[in-house]
Chain A
Amino acid sequence: MSDKNTDPQRTALYDKHIEAGGKIVDFAGWEMSINYGSQVEEHHQVRNDAGMFDVSHMVVLDFKGKDVKSFLRHLLANNIDKLKDSGKALYSCMLNENSGVIDDLIVYYLSDEFYRMVINAATRENDLAWITQQMDAFEVDLTERTDLSMIAVQGPNAREKALSLLDKATAEKVAELKPFFGLPLEGGRFYARTGYTGEDGFEIMISNEEAPELWDALIKAGVKPIGLGARDTLRLEAGMNLYGTDMDTSTSPLVSGLTWTIALSPEDRDFLGRKVLEDDKLAGVKEKFVGLVLEDRGVLRSHQKVITESGEGTITSGTFSPTLKKAIALARVPAGTGLGEQCHVEIRGKKLAAKVVKPVFVRNGKSCLENT
């Protein structure tokens, strides 16, 4: 069952990473590029122009069949009935019975009997085991699309540059995509206006055979390769959760900044984890998920202790924000902690001053901090 003892896997774009000078690291059993030189320069490239990430290690699952709707209604904490227009995407958690987060994912509505899901690479085995176990009672076919690669093109100029590679008729259709919509094209290609950076752009699925050609064409169009390092600083600035650090099976979405993804209405939708979520809400949630900005000099990192007026908390992910030139973090703190409140973070025995803010720091190239 475990892939852990096997050799690391390579995406169809591995040679392209080497060509571009990528520094290769192991990520969830995949040989991926952490950067191609400077992580900070790559970060700015995405904020100011256009960059691309190979995210082919992520797992694409196609669900088909007459029960697929009722199955996903049961499986996911967000409600897929919100998806009424073809191509519309939904961000959701998949919970266990105790309301712990098994994974976070995106699901696309393609037709009443066809949904496409994208899950994390690191959680693949657990996810598939859980999903297939839940599928028993439903008439649903599951296909893992290992034949597809995925390239995320992100940044203020990302759409324009990606569209320049399409023929006129296709480009017109793809240009009309609204945020959080995907569009299947001929030959298995799929363009979605989604991402993990807080910038506009596309996530493009394409056959493994054609992926290197698209990568080269994007480079020619002025899109630069970006490694997983900058992907993390970009998502953190955008206030987007990372599975495994900001939440996992031991944490409820209610204390992970994911309450907005929980659809408790309609009341008769019996999804996995619902009972415990309702009990927790009734009992009162004791922690909340916030952003922190360090006011003293230093760098915030995960697992550092946060000291607030209402008690202690923990940083779930932290970094130095290249856009704000300050250390920022996501943190789980006592529920009484207020936005704008001063707190302290313990770093190497010293208590450094920080401020509690909304857990979103940068969107579309601009600081969100003035609003807090």
Chain B
Amino acid sequence: MSEILDDRKYTKSHEWVLDNGDGTVNIGISDHAQELLGDIVYVELPEMDAEFGAEDAVGVVESVKAASDIYAPVPGTVVAVNEALDDAPETVNSDPFGEGWIYTLKLDSADDLDELMDADAYQTEVADD
């Protein structure tokens, strides 16, 4: 069974969103998502300073099997990307909720986070997969 942490929110497209409490959120893909993808060999990171609307495709995670888009969960601006993934994309497999984070988004509005699923709702979502 895949792990789901209850300190963060989730999207239907399997991103996790961790509120940093300073108007920014860290974003990665869930343990469930990395399991589905299998061995990850490349992460196309979002462009720094790019502005995205909710559900815009911002980057791509590629495994040996398939390519999968990463989406912006809420509107915002990219203020950091995890460049360590350039050399070690497999970190997304080994530590999806920690060192495998993908990027940081500065929120247009903190209220937008209320739209996202909590851990329980995501658990239900994953069970239907």
Please list the residues of chain A having a beta carbon within 8 angstroms of any beta carbon in chain B: 35, 38-40, 229, 233, 297-299, 301, 319-320, 322, 327, 348
Contact = CB atoms under 8 A, between A and B. Distances in A.
A299 B38 contact: no
B65 interface: yes
Nearest to B93: A38
11 contacts: A38-B38, A39-B38, A39-B39, A39-B64, A229-B64, A298-B62, A319-B64, A320-B41, A320-B64, A322-B64, A348-B60
Given A40-B41, A298-B44, A320-B41, 10 more contacts: A39-B38, A39-B65, A40-B64, A233-B64, A297-B86, A299-B41, A299-B67, A320-B42, A322-B64, A327-B42
Contacts of B38: 35, 38-39, 229
Contacts of B65: 39, 229
A319 B63 CA distance: 9
Interface of B: 38-39, 41-42, 44, 60, 62, 64-65, 67, 86
Instruction: Give the most central of B39, B42, B44, B65: most A CB within 10 Å.
Output: B39
Nearest to A350: B44
Contacts of B41: 40, 299, 320, 322
Nearest to A294: B42
Contacts of B42: 297-299, 320, 327
A165 to B, nearest CB: 31
8 closest Cβ pairs, A-B complex: A320-B41, A40-B39, A299-B62, A299-B42, A320-B64, A39-B39, A39-B64, A39-B38
Contacts, number: 35
Contacts of A298: 42, 44, 62
Nearest to B35: A23
Per DSSP, chain B at the interface is: strand
A38 B39 contact: yes
A37 B60 CA distance: 22
Contacts of B62: 298-299, 320
Nearest to A301: B67
A320 B89 CA distance: 12
A215 B109 CA distance: 58
Contacts of A327: 42
A327 B38 CA distance: 16
Nearest to B44: A298
Contacts of B67: 299, 301
A35 B62 CA distance: 17
A38 B90 CA distance: 11
Contacts of A297: 42, 44, 86
A349 B64 CA distance: 21
Among A297, A299, A319, A322, residue most surrounded by chain B Cβ atoms (within 10 Å): A299
Nearest to A297: B42
A226 to B, nearest CB: 13
Nearest to B41: A320
Contacts of B64: 39-40, 229, 233, 319-320, 322
B42 to A, nearest CB: 5
A40 B63 CA distance: 10
A182 B120 CA distance: 57
A58 to B, nearest CB: 22
A345 to B, nearest CB: 14
A348 B68 CA distance: 12
